[in-house]
Amino acid sequence: MPQLNPEFFISQLFWLTISFAFLFIFLWRISLPKISSVLEKRANKINEDIKIAKQYQAKTEEIQTNINNLLKKARLETTDLIKSANQNLQAHTAKELEKLDNSLNAKLDESSSIIEKNKADSLNQINDQIFDITKLTLSKISSIVVSDNDIKDIVTSEQQKLVN
């Protein structure tokens, strides 16, 4: 094999040095700076994305906190509205019941006065009928003439005895 022949070692070392130097200079001056700039841009982009993600996460947590606060506030307001509506309903119901009680009391008083009036009218009619019956009975039984005032006085006194 010609690679192992010692007479070609110097030329091979020369070309190895030139190739290695060319490859080293090419990589050192051209390829590695491009690769390192790409890696640096990539690292910067990743760091920037992480920073933006942290900002968005902080904003998200802030928004979540605001939403939770608004929900708590809405729950409290809803509870207060329900309580006030319940109190208003109870007050309105109490007013309506009072109106109904007043109306029923007024009707009861009116009915009571009507009953008393009817009772008084009935008693007057009964008294008139008793007076007529008594007068008719006295006129049929006896020939004694009794005045209307005497009959009324006797009927009234007998009624008062019955009531007492």
Two structure tokens written together for 111: 């009915």
- pTM summary value: 0.46
Residue type, 122: S
* φ, ψ at 146 (rounded to 5°): -115, 140
How do the domains of the chain map onto residue ranges? Answer: 7-163
**How would DSSP label each residue in 100-161?**
HHHHHHHHHHHHHHHHHHHHHHHHHHHHHHHHHHHHHHHHHH------HHHHHHHHHHHHHH
Question: Which of 76, 99, 96 shows the shortest CA–CA distance to 88?
Answer: 96
Residue 151 near residue 129 (C-beta atoms within 8 A): no
Note down pLDDT in tens along the chain; length 164 residues: 566 777 878 888 899 999 999 999 998 899 999 999 999 999 999 999 999 999 999 999 999 999 999 999 999 999 999 999 999 999 999 999 999 999 999 999 999 999 999 988 988 888 788 888 888 887 788 777 777 787 778 777 877 787 66
